[in-house]
Amino acid sequence: TMFTHFASSHPQAVKRQLEGFIAKSLLDYESRNIEKKHPEIPYALRESDENYLVEEITRQKIDLPAANDRAGLATYFKFHSSDYRWESPRYRGVVLHCVDKKTAKQAKKMLKKVPEKEWADKLRQTFNTSGEEKIQVEQGIFADGDNKYIDKLVFKKGDFDPLMSYPFTIVVGEKMKGPDDYREVIDRVRKDYRSYLDTCWMRELSESGKVEINQEVLKTVNNN
């Protein structure tokens, strides 16, 4: 017959097909009887699937937003800003050491019309040109004790001697109870926002009553 002729002409090909058929038959048989012979395997597979499911849901619902959702982080910070207040007020602004009273007055007036992040550059461009330096600038967020000029002029503590070449020192800014931008305390906000998202997700699951999650698996994923 045609098969006999093919088999005699291609013994290795026939052997491979036969071995493949036998292997598939054995695998099919084992698959049908696996629960009887190894009852722990289906459980392990289900647990593995559940573990993967929880990891993926955690990534989509919690990890990614906590890391990248800038609008969510900003909103969370806005409604929980009191959690990030400092133990004592700080002063955010600039210390200006000026060559004369007129320069100090002009600088203070100018800063009212300029965004805070541009203060230092604008001051230098306006008053420190043509090789003449009329102002020295210190900008930042100052706690009590960080800067002797801030201590005296803002917190009313201590004293300072005016700089020889810049005898007029003023401060421009505001006293604050805490940061006003989540990026100033980004690590803490991310951690708290993640915890908040986790709580919301667990509540959603509980209220839906449609999904059961292995709590031990969930605990393992969250701890990692």
Element (H, E) at 172: strand 168-176
The encoded tokens of residue 26 equal: 């054995």
Q: What is the pLDDT tens value at each position of the chain, 224 positions in all?
A: 554 555 466 566 656 776 776 666 666 666 666 556 656 555 555 666 566 666 777 777 788 888 888 999 999 999 999 999 999 999 999 999 999 999 999 999 999 999 999 999 999 999 998 788 999 999 999 999 999 999 999 999 999 999 999 999 999 999 999 999 999 999 999 999 989 988 888 887 777 665 555 555 455 545 55
> Any idea what the Cα angle at residue 183 is, between residues 223 and 178, rounded to 5°?
105
Taking the C-alpha atoms of residue 178 and residue 76, their distance in angstroms, rounded to an integer, is 15
Q: State phi, psi for 94 to the nearest 5 degrees.
A: -130, 150
For helices 40-58 and 215-223, what crossing angle results, to 10°?
50
Place of tokens 């990534």: 59
